[in-house]
Amino acid sequence: MIHGWAEGAGLDEIGKAASFDVLTGRFEVPDKNSAGVIASEWQWLLKSAVDAGWPQYQALIESAHAESKLRRLYPFTSHWALSFSTTPDYPFSPPFVSIDPPRGTGDYTIREWWNGPALNYVTTPAEAIAIAVDRIPAALLETPSEVPAQDS
């Protein structure tokens, strides 16, 4: 790569000779604040959904991101199933929904956790997201100012 650069090779030629890591923003939040990490993960997930070349998966991720109640949560996938956590740190919070996009033709499958029994089958990502929102536990819908103080 250095030799190519020294010999006047263009960036395209150098890129073919040595791959470059593309920064996505994922995990690049300087102070590691939860809200910043969650927003960063959403951006990475949206980009990776486009790159996956799977229209149903992309539609699911975009529909989930459009829903403000889900956008507050940390999105993660396992075996292409979309789930959510209150924290970006592992172990994640207990699952309340996992959505499998259809592979080819078929329906979106809603489960409580990624390999749990199917709870619903729906034809559109909007329907899947509506079910996901309905399954959010009430405590997760409270904003920080609404959360009662804990007695020590």
For residue range 104-144, list pLDDT tens digits in order.
Answer: 889 999 999 989 999 999 999 999 999 999 999 998 887 65
Least confident of 2-6, 24-28, 127-131: 24-28
Residue at 3 is within a domain: no
Residue at 152 is within a domain: no
Question: Regarding predicted confidence, which is higher, 99 or 11?
Answer: 99
Q: Which residues have CB under 8 Å from 34's CB, separation 6+?
A: 74, 87, 88
Residue at 2 is within a domain: no
Question: Regarding predicted confidence, which is higher, 138 or 146?
Answer: 138
Domains contained in the chain, number:
1
Res 28: pLDDT: 76
**Nearest to residue 39, comparing CAs of 68, 63, 60, 59?**
68
Residue at 18 is within a domain: no
Res 31: pLDDT: 82
Supply the range of the domain harboring residue 61: 26-141
Q: Are the C-beta atoms of residues 76 and 41 closer than 8 Å to each other?
A: yes
Map residue 80 onto helix, strand or coil: coil
Res 20: pLDDT: 58
Residue at 128 is within a domain: yes
Res 24: pLDDT: 56
Residue at 15 is within a domain: no
Residue at 37 is within a domain: yes
Residue 46 reports pLDDT greater than 90: yes
Residue at 51 is within a domain: yes
Per-residue pLDDT, averaged over 82-93, amounts to 92
